[in-house]
Structure 1
Amino acid sequence: MNEALAASVSNVSGTASVATVESYAKYIGQLAEQCLRLEVQTWPKPGLVSHVDNGSHTDMDAITFSRSAEALRPFFAELAEAGAQGAAMSTLRKIGLRAERAMLQATGGINTHRGAIFGLGLLSAAAGWRNAHPGDRTSSLGEIVARYWGDDILGGPRLTTSHGETAHRRYGAGGARQEAADGFPSIYNVGLRALEAARDIASGEAEAARVHACFALIAAVEDTNLLHRGGIAGLRFARQATRAFLRRGGVGQAEWRRHAEAIHRAFVERRLSPGGAADLLAMSLFVSALGRDG
């Protein structure tokens, strides 16, 4: 993680003034962008776009993701500032919709980060709230999201044409909406734990830790992107392949990168892309950067 960014958060403390809220929000925007960039700079990730190849995608590449991440930075900052002010979910949603329009403009109409806008946006708002309210400093970002916005997340308007909503209707999958309303259990119970475990077994290699966490998330999450592309059979294959990799020791096994690449190629052959896990990886990095209890 960018050391200058990580250091800047330590300078923001106490009761938040307007200037402090704004400076912290700017930091959150930069951090969110950095986490999105780190996600795409991770390889091999089964079926996903990276700086090495385009995975199972023909309409986007690492440059597309970079443009999107840059365009989204000010909106994550705006969400953090809105969160600090106790904004309702309806306000956060409006900011998210403007962020989505900026993403599509930056990418030529390609959906690179719609899921991240939702999940990372809520975590940014929660970070803003926690920084501005000392009484909540011991709460995790996930707890804050569930406490203040959980009901409205579940009860809010649904984009019926989205892959997540289609998978929800067809397979009963909870998807990103349920994940957020529950306080992001996949981040705290899977993503963060995998990052921590991998940092020990991978001798501190940051990219290896991100690969390990990505595999762990694919193995555990009912990813609606996988369901959309491959149905139940695709989800089952993805889970079996990634769980086998983890059972063999993950990134702690000999020639782990060769094994991970073989799984990546198998996903590409089946056109599987676990975009939900990719979003959760970026969110796990974000929470991790803000501290273990983030």
Structure 2
Amino acid sequence: MINSITQNALRALLYEVTTEPKPGLVDPGSPGPHSDMNIYTFIDSSLSLTQYFNDAVKIGQTFTGSDLTQMFFALRRKGLAAEKAMLAATHGVNTHKGAIFALGVFTCAESYCHTRHTELFTTIQAMCHGLVEHDLGHICSPQTAGEKEYAEYGYGGARAEAEQGYPIIEEIALPFLKDSTGTIQARLLDTLMKIATRAVDSNLIKRAGNIQVIDWLHEEAAAYLALGGYATDAGKQKLKQLNQECLEHNYSLGGCADLLIVTIFVGLERGYL
């Protein structure tokens, strides 16, 4: 049986991947710069995570301790199993590792909030307290992209976003989505670009090999919104241009996509979509 929180988590994954045209990302019309995956890979991956979200909901419902970091680490153990399920479903392709982390946190926290009547973003902040230092603070030989970016730039990536309680979602993306108008496609594309005006996308940094590319992304996303977004011909043309640049440079906006997914999830939970 799928509960409503799990259902909205799965809807968020599917809403994101079926929204097009997304620069630097997989959508129905194009795999973008991801030649090893397509929309069907993402559908299979999404459905493979059903049990994980059910587990996340159960952890949030049943946790009774005062230290919410322990709830996070219980969730993380389930997340490791979820990554294996994802890779089995996609034949080894990493489609949703970032979403397993972020959407798992939101799903678990939302469930806890329903049970304990607490506030979502405060709960996430308590769950992820000290996470950057715990995971990255004592690494002498960085191996993963996240570890290398922390060592080189001091940027904590998805862990830092979570530890801060996702202010980019609470203060920027979610209010923008709530106030947006038009088709779901236009609203989600514009919300993605709103996120891209502020996000420090670790996937993009990895692909570009430098952190200066973030300034480029912020400027391009702001220009798109200034043209009126997807509701205007100029906005559509700008998005087409951005798509082409991402293809030419092999840029991925995977970090922005993860933030869009959790924004969609909260939007569904609150009736904004």
TM-score, normalized by the shorter chain, greater than 0.5: yes
Equivalent residue in structure 2 for 1:120, among 100, 103, 107: 103
The answer to whether the aligner puts 1:207 opposite 2:190 as a matched pair is no
In structure 1, the partner of 2:67 is none
Aligned residue type for 2:197: A
Aligned length: 261
In structure 1, the partner of 2:157 is 175
In structure 1, the partner of 2:170 is 188
- 1:161 CA displacement: 3.1
CA distance in 1 between partners of 2:160 and 2:183 (Å): 32
Aligned residue type for 1:208: A
Distance 1:98 1:163, change over 3 A: same
CA distance in 2 between partners of 1:209 and 1:53 (Å): 20
The answer to whether the aligner puts 1:247 opposite 2:226 as a matched pair is yes
Equivalent residue in structure 1 for 2:246, among 262, 267, 271: 267
- Identical counterparts, % of pairs: 31
Distance 1:37 1:273, change over 3 A: same
SS at match of 2:30: coil
SS at match of 2:192: helix
- 1:255 CA displacement: 4.3
> Which has the larger displacement, 256-265 or 89-98?
256-265
Distance 1:292 1:221, change over 3 A: farther
The answer to whether the aligner puts 1:53 opposite 2:30 as a matched pair is yes
Task: Please tell me whether the aligned partners of residues 164 and 225 of structure 1 are also in contact (alpha carbons under 8 angstroms).
Answer: no
Task: Please tell me whether the aligned partners of residues 25 and 31 of structure 2 are also in contact (alpha carbons under 8 angstroms).
Answer: yes
SS at match of 1:88: helix
Task: Please tell me whether the aligned partners of residues 45 and 215 of structure 1 are also in contact (alpha carbons under 8 angstroms).
Answer: no
CA distance in 2 between partners of 1:84 and 1:48 (Å): 34
Structure 1: unaligned runs, 5 residues or longer? 1-22
Which structure 2 residues correspond to residues 97-176 of structure 1 after superposition, within 5 A?
A: 97-134=80-117, 136=118, 139=119, 141-147=120-126, 149-157=127-135, 160-176=142-158
> Which has the larger displacement, 243-252 or 123-132?
243-252
CA distance in 2 between partners of 1:172 and 1:253 (Å): 38
- 1:104 CA displacement: 0.8
Task: Please tell me whether the aligned partners of residues 191 and 213 of structure 1 are also in contact (alpha carbons under 8 angstroms).
Answer: yes
Alpha-carbon displacement from aligned partner over 1:3-44 (angstroms, at most 9, x marks no partner):
xxxxxxxxxxxxxxxxxxxx7x72222211110011011112
Equivalent residue in structure 2 for 1:220, among 194, 198, 202: 198
Distance 1:169 1:176, change over 3 A: same
SS at match of 1:118: helix
CA distance in 2 between partners of 1:62 and 1:190 (Å): 28
- 1:174 CA displacement: 2.4
Task: Please tell me whether the aligned partners of residues 178 and 267 of structure 2 are also in contact (alpha carbons under 8 angstroms).
Answer: no
CA distance in 2 between partners of 1:103 and 1:43 (Å): 23
Aligned residue type for 1:274: L
Aligned residue type for 1:130: C
Question: Could you state the TM-score of these two structures normalised by the residue count of structure 2?
Answer: 0.89
Question: Could you state the TM-score of these two structures normalised by the residue count of structure 1?
Answer: 0.83
Aligned residue type for 1:211: L
- 1:175 CA displacement: 0.8
CA distance in 2 between partners of 1:53 and 1:253 (Å): 22
Distance 1:112 1:273, change over 3 A: same
Task: Please tell me whether the aligned partners of residues 157 and 202 of structure 2 are also in contact (alpha carbons under 8 angstroms).
Answer: yes
The answer to whether the aligner puts 1:28 opposite 2:11 as a matched pair is no
Which of structure 1's runs of 4+ aligned residues deviate more than 6 A?
A: none
SS at match of 1:40: helix
